[in-house]
Amino acid sequence: MYRIIITLFTLCLIFVSCKTQEKYVEDKTYSGRYLGLTPPGSEPELFAPGFITTSLFTRDIAMMPDGNEIYFSVSAFNYNLIYCTKQVDGKWSEPVPAEFIKDFSYMYFEPFITHDGSKMFFFSTMVDVDSIEGDQDIWVVDRTDDGWGEPYNLGAPINTAGGEYFPSVTVDGTLYFTRQPDGDRNNYIFRSKFVNGRYSEPEKLGQEINFGTARYNAYVDKYERFIIVPAVGLEDSYGGTDYYIVFHDEKDNWSNPINLGSKINTESTREYSASISPDGKYLFFMSARSNPEIDFSKQRFTINKLVEASQGCMNGNPDIYWVSTNFLLKLKPGDF
């Protein structure tokens, strides 16, 4: 029965993917760095529409340091999986679930690949001796000569009876992550330093990071120069969850949060997953935006038109965008 469910799920995804590719890329073969796409400038663009960004609920981008493997998260048909595409002999493969995923009944989301490519951190609801049924924990899988090994729970002191997710790691091994303490409805950003081969007791960061009425899924710069925090409830919000940047200095001081602006943020509540490419050139972020060519307020759409609109990007599900990072450091306050 389990194999039948997986087969049906895979067939459904292939069908949706094929319909989307047929509409947007017409069987285009991707090759080269960043799939051979023309890099964006200061205006955000959809990332690989019809190939990675499709009609499905899509978010979370992570890449191997050489850029030849791209991982991203997809939700569909009650499944939540990390997908992978690889460049082999110059051509990018059709995305498939990451090789270390064995049981599709659990969630696998929010991949983060360390800057040397030796490990992938992610969150999952898998169960083992260090986790509780249904609990969200941070897991790790090590890179091997053949690909990836077997995932293992990061364990204490990172994982608790509460929820832990959205790992982000600096070059010195410091782990930033979100925790929802057991019995608490709020989420907070924590940090744990990697000392003598072990993670220290996580510290809940101050109000410079844990600002607003809700905050989560913080992505830290690999050199800890800044952190990008999706948050709710600030006066300069564009109406939903907004991306903010907070700068960091060598004395462990943090600046006040700075809104990333109207090119990145919209009134959408689905803007809460950001990352930066290994070369530091591009910001990837999740956003649910409507197709400007479809104005539901002025037309009486037939059911067929609605179905057609739903099969493309910008249909209400989150999409992945990318934009040049040139603007980020320009936001840095003078005293940082």
pLDDT tens digits, one per residue of 201-244: 999 999 999 999 999 999 999 999 999 999 999 999 998 999 99
Distance CA 259, CA 73 (A): 25
Chain centroid to CA 336: 27
Confidence (pLDDT) at 144: 96
Distance CA 174, CA 101 (A): 26
CB of 320 within 8 A of CB of 46? yes
Alpha helices, H only, 25-78: none
Give the span between the Cα atoms of 55 and 19, in whole angstroms: 10
Question: Which residues, in sequence order, are CB contacts of 64 under 8 Å at separation 6+?
Answer: 113, 117, 278
Give me the percent of the chain exceeding a pLDDT of 90: 77
Nearest to 141 by CA among 164, 107, 118: 118
What DSSP string runs through 254-296? B---EE--TTT--S-S----EEE-TTS-EEEEEE--B-TT--T
In this predicted model, what pLDDT tens digit does every residue of 148-185 receive, in sequence order? 999 999 999 999 999 999 999 999 999 999 999 998 99
SS3 (DSSP) at 306: helix
User: How big is the chain, counted in residues?
Assistant: 336
In the chain, where the domains are located: 43-331
Residue with tokens 């493309």: 312
Nearest to 164 by CA among 204, 198, 194, 196: 204
Beta strands 282-287 and 274-276: pairing type?
A: antiparallel
Kindly state the average pLDDT of the residues 181-201: 95
pTM score: 0.89
- Cβ atoms of residues 167 and 123 within 8 Å: yes
User: Percent of the chain having pLDDT more than 70?
Assistant: 89
- Angstrom distance (rounded) from CA 229 to CA 69: 25
Query: What digits encode the pLDDT tens for the residues 71-123?
Result: 999 999 999 999 999 999 989 999 999 999 999 999 999 999 999 999 999 99
The stretch 22-28 carries a mean pLDDT of 46
Q: How confident is the model at residue 15 (pLDDT cuts 50, 70, 90)?
A: very low
Token code pair at residue 221: 């710069």
Measured between its terminal Cα atoms, the distance across the chain in Å is 58
Mean pLDDT of the chain: 89
Instruction: Give the closest residue to 10 by CA, choosing from 79, 60, 99.
Output: 79
Average pLDDT over residues 284-292: 90
Nearest to 199 by CA among 138, 142, 157, 137: 157
Q: Please enumerate in sequence order all residues whose Cβ is within 8 A of that of 43, keeping only pairs 6 or more positions apart, or say none.
A: 263, 323
CATH dotted code for 43-331: 2.120.10.30
Judged against a pLDDT cut of 80, whether residue 21 lies above it is answered with no
